Structure 1
Amino acid sequence: MAMRWEAFLGQVKERGRYETTEEAERAARTVLALLGAHLVGEVRAELAARLPEAMALLLLNPLQAHEPLSPERFVRATAAWIEGATERTAAWDVSAVLSVVSDAAGEELTRRVLLQLPVGYDLLFGCSRPV
């Protein structure tokens, strides 16, 4: 079952320690649009089904990626899309969003998502060890 919009943004806001829901939403939209470009097929569809509809649409209609981004480049790309962001704040944004995505997905689906991503994303998803 999909996570509700308010619950999703509430968790992102809390984990990212954002002052406003708008900040949390901006981070979530950017990160999910970039993530969607890295996922394909059933895994992307299953993950989308567990997220609020507006977030699922971002995942299913992603920004175009010409190649898979390493975790470091993913953070840099996030920083480029969020006004006023630095790599440090973008890393915070990515981790806040992806840890909530991981919770919504559950361990088994998160493991399958990570199999589609370059090595090192487990840390961005808040996994202390490779899943």
Structure 2
Amino acid sequence: MNTKNSLTTSIRIDKWLWAARFFKTRSLACNAVELGRVLQNEQRVKPAHNLKVGDLLEIHQADQIWIVEVIKLSDVRGSATVAQGLYVETAESQLKRQQRAENRRYQQEPAAQISERPTKRQRRQLSNIHLD
């Protein structure tokens, strides 16, 4: 088992994202990096790119955007409290996330509630409502 601790000077970005619990699996972290949803120091990188202490990461997950500074390196997935010790979220990022959460609370997107296409019966019911 490969267990590197914080004495290493660099680690793959996909491993660190998984260990910091931003993604459930390494493959999800790898896909996010490949799709450009994770930026390192405002640059697109590949999943095997090395991450160092002090790097800034911008992580896009669904409607959340995290901007974090790496303070420790680890390729071992630990508890949530250990994972939160691997990074520090910037104050600007925290403020923006809180504002987005408040906006979602007061202004819900109508399309967000639709999970699938309506059935034939549901379409008929919708059209009957509009005709009445």
- Taking structure 1 as the reference length, the TM-score comes to 0.26
**TM-score, normalising length from structure 2?**
0.26
* Structure with the largest fraction of strand: 2
Larger Rg: 2
- Name the structure with the higher helix share: 1
